[in-house]
Amino acid sequence: MYQNIILAYDGSQESQHGMLSADVLSRLSMEIRSILQSTELKQRFEKLGVSPGVMSQSEFAAYVDEEIKQWAYVVAQEKIQKQK
C-alpha cells in the first residue's frame, strides 16, 4: 500500500508560527521539490512503499478543499458528532 507525503506552504508573508518569510518558504519548497524528484530518493521511497506527492500551493489548496467536502459529506451522512 502506498502512502502519500504532501508538502505545502501557505504562501503568506509569515508562516503560521511567524518564523519564516514567504521568500524562505518558497525557497524551501523549491529545494524540497527538487529533492523529492531525485531518482535516489524515489527509489528509497519505493522500497518503503511510499509515493511522495509534490503539489504547488494552489494544487494543495484544491486538494484540501476537496478532502474537506468529501469528509464533511461522510460526517453528515453518518451523523457523526463532534467529540469533546
Identify the residue with better confidence: 23 or 11.
23
Question: For the chain, how long is the longest CA-to-CA vector?
Answer: 46
pLDDT for 63 beyond 60: yes
| pLDDT at site 80 | 93
* Euclidean distance between CA atoms 64 and 71, whole angstroms: 11
Run of H or E including 4: strand 3-7
Q: Residue 21 gets which letter from DSSP?
A: B
Give the lowest-confidence range in 3-7, 71-75, 80-84.
3-7
Q: What is the pLDDT of residues 40-61, one digit of tens each?
A: 988 998 999 988 777 777 788 8
| pLDDT at site 68 | 94
